[in-house]
Amino acid sequence: MNRRFVVLRLLPFLWAVGLAFGTDWARSELTVERIYGSSDFNEASFSAQWLEADVYLTLERAEGDAGGRDIVAWKAETGERTVLVKASQLVPDGRDRPLAIDGYQFSDDRSKVLIFSNAQRVWRRRTRGDYWLLDRSTGVLRQLGGDARPASLMFAKFCPAGDRIAYVRDNDLYCEVLDGHEIVRLTADGSTDVINGTFDWVHEEEFRLRDGFRWSPNGESIAYWQLDTTEVPEFVMIDHTSGAYPQLRRFKYPKAGERNATSRIGVVTIADQQTRWIDIPHHSDDHYLPRMRWADNSNDLLIQHMNRLQNTNDVLRVDAGEGRVTKLFRERDEAWIDIHDEWFCLGDGRFTWISERSGWRHLYLVSRSGEVQQVTRGAWDMIRLLHVDAERNEVYFIASPDDPTRRYLFRSDLDGGGVQRVTSEDQPGWHSYELSPDGRWAIHRYSTFDVPPRVELIRLPEHRTERVLVDNRRLAERLAGLDSSPVEFFRVDIGDGIELDGYCLKPTDFDSQKKYPLLIYVYGEPAGQTVLDRWGGKGQLWHRMLAQRGYVVMSVDNRGTPAPRGRCWRKVVYRQVGVLAPIEQAAALKQVLEDRPYLDSDRVGIWGWSGGGSMALNAIFKYPELYHTAVAVAPVADQRLYDTIYQERYMGLPDDNIEGYTQGSAIHFAEQLAGNLLLVHGTADDNVHYQITELLIDELIRHKKQFTMMAYPSRSHSISERENTVVHLRNLLTDYLAEHLPAGSLP
């Protein structure tokens, strides 16, 4: 064990001693325990939802011994504060404490409030629990669901009139009449395999679909999805930690090339509980129904109908009464089509549409007859549409035409003219907004890589700050006291006119005449960027800790990541995920080693999580002469073993792209490992299965390759469950790097 490694192991103890005596050194140095095991760097969070044009709601800790939280209304114009629901009103009969509020929803007339409590996780999100109804006029609080098991209801929501609530229970839809407490079962075929009103694992994860039903505007019917997973292959995970004998957990998970669930959409009439199924031409289990909503009336449904390759999306208008289906238009792409949630109806039959058909992501308007009109134009991407106001002829959206690492608010006329940046020019960085229903107010969050989030209420379109809601002053002061250098954003030229965005963190005592080890943080797949000028939380602080200890930490976004740099930038990776990215990452590494003599080419490491873990494996296997140490957390070593929707979207079907799946999967290059490799995986990962890492281990053993492995029992993809897991994991990664990629400068 080298001397530097011993010193690094002592740092947590030295930091604790220093803190006890109040030394500046302790306050300026980062440790894993300080980042992940203490409250030193916790952010002051803020959560709110708009109730009406100029009123937003927050949850605030109630006064008194009983605890709980009040629901508080704030008037945007005046700052007037009103407690709408007191925690004391949310104490069920027979209990002495208020309900824990995991979510809430008011009826349109504000006379009733629906409380979501006792939330339990379904897949990776807490979407199942108990629902309680508070009548604000009488003060009566009662639980919904009748004789339902505890925590068995999902996605409860008011009908437009507020006199009924629909929810999912055991994969069936129910409607509860509030006067009289009558419960009506709307579907009766829900089972383990047949799912009404919600979704299976793959639809939830990859299409972000959760609540699978929509009230009609007149409240007389509900449109809903039904999935039949009978033919979907079942995956089995083993739980060794819950008892003396292992337990099996089974769930439907379609891996690339396997059978998907059959999906369909029906409209059930509340009065007679009869469902009319929509007969979509040419629909099969090789098609998806990724989005559905009512148009601007209670008769017409808008449905997106996508083929399995996800490169054709037909937008349909359906007469819900007669079942007549009309294809309005077809979106087509040679690669894949991204699904967007910014699907607003304007009230005159038109609705918004986001498309890359021009080569850039822009806003379009679609008429009732299917005519498509482009609104925004230019060599830049609309990142997200936030608000549409037909009466005022304006839209608000997020874009960053000049710097893909940042995000700003823009405004435009609905005819495409008058595009202007709304975010202040003197605030470079990352901005997000929650606009009020009338678009006159917004809750604005702002941060940069070096500056933690600030939350404020602003007035639009002036972008004038009315009140600061969270300043994170305590966190900012802690950060200011750290011994660290500001981040450097840069671009690296890898040839053929291609420049990649990157960032660099250097040691505090950096000396350009010395040599430093380089650690690269990578993701590299279409699902995410890493090079962003925004606050990155505790993961970012861990990178800063490594920089304090003598590492240069870099990250580079190769092409194929979702940067706002045009369609070609993003979709050049089609059918070659895991092929193109390692090539461009290696080219970027070679160039920065040439450009920056202070980087030690004999001490280069790479690490990543999930898709980033896959990239770390591909890097060290395919370029053993460049990378000496790799850490792969929850990697997809074989793309054939990931799910249909994600993998086929970017790679096509396995049998039609044998070369791509083979060349892009790191498992096929395991025999080329020459450096140090740490594999980390949770055994209860229902996303990237532990099975994949076991197969990689088997392949490495077959080729007599030595490596290090850590399995976290009963942990999911986040490897965060149970006491001390996160601290243990980050210490593991830190110690492994210290031993196999020694930190510090060399002459």
Closest to 588 (Cα-Cα) out of 551, 615, 613: 615
Q: Does domain 46-185 have CATH number 3.20.20.140?
A: no
Each residue's pLDDT tens digit, 85-126: 999 999 999 999 999 999 999 999 999 999 999 999 887 777
Phi/psi region, residue 671 (left: phi>0; alpha: psi -120 to 50; beta: rest), is: alpha
Give the strands of the sheet with 454-459, arranged side by side.
430-435, 441-447, 454-459, 464-470
Q: Specify whether the CB–CB gap between 520 and 503 falls below 8 A.
A: no
pLDDT at res. 342: 86
**CA angle, corner 50, sides to 44 and 52, nearest 5?**
150
Task: Tell me the pairing of strands 55-61 and 49-52.
Answer: antiparallel
- CA neighbor of 608 nearest in space, from 684, 534, 688, 548: 688
User: Which pLDDT score, from 0 to 100, does residue 10 have?
Assistant: 52
Predicted confidence at residue 286, as pLDDT, reads: 92
Look at residues 280, 307, 237 and name the one whose alpha carbon lies nearest to residue 692: 237
**For the chain, where do the domains classified as CATH 3.40.50.1820 start and end?**
486-740
Distance separating alpha carbons of residues 295 and 280, to the nearest angstrom: 17
Which residue type, as a one-letter code, is found at position 712? Y
- 580 vs 58, 178, 300, 586, CA distance in Å? 46, 57, 44, 10
Q: Which helix (H) or strand (E) holds 264?
A: strand 262-269
pLDDT for res 49: 97
Specify the DSSP element, H or E, that contains 312.
Answer: strand 312-319
Q: What was the pLDDT predicted at 5?
A: 44
- The residue type found at 495 is G
Q: Kindly list the distances between the CA atom of residue 373 and the CA atoms of 300, 338, 567, in Å, as whole numbers in the listed order.
A: 21, 19, 19
Angle at 222 between CA 219 and CA 224, to 5 degrees: 160
pTM assigned to the model:
0.94
Q: At what angle do helices 580-595 and 611-622 cross, to 10 degrees?
A: 70
For 486-740, CATH gives 3.40.50.1820
Structure confidence at residue 23 (pLDDT)? 53
pLDDT in the model for residue 25: 47
* Rounded CA separation 198/200 (Å): 7
- 């290059």: which residue's tokens? 669
Low-confidence spans in the chain with pLDDT less than 70: 1-26, 65
Residue range(s) in the chain whose domain bears CATH number 2.130.10.10: 46-185
Q: Is the dihedral of CA 595, 598, 602, 607 positive or negative?
A: negative
Closest by alpha carbon to 586, among 551, 556, 542? 556
Q: Which amino acid is at 302?
A: L
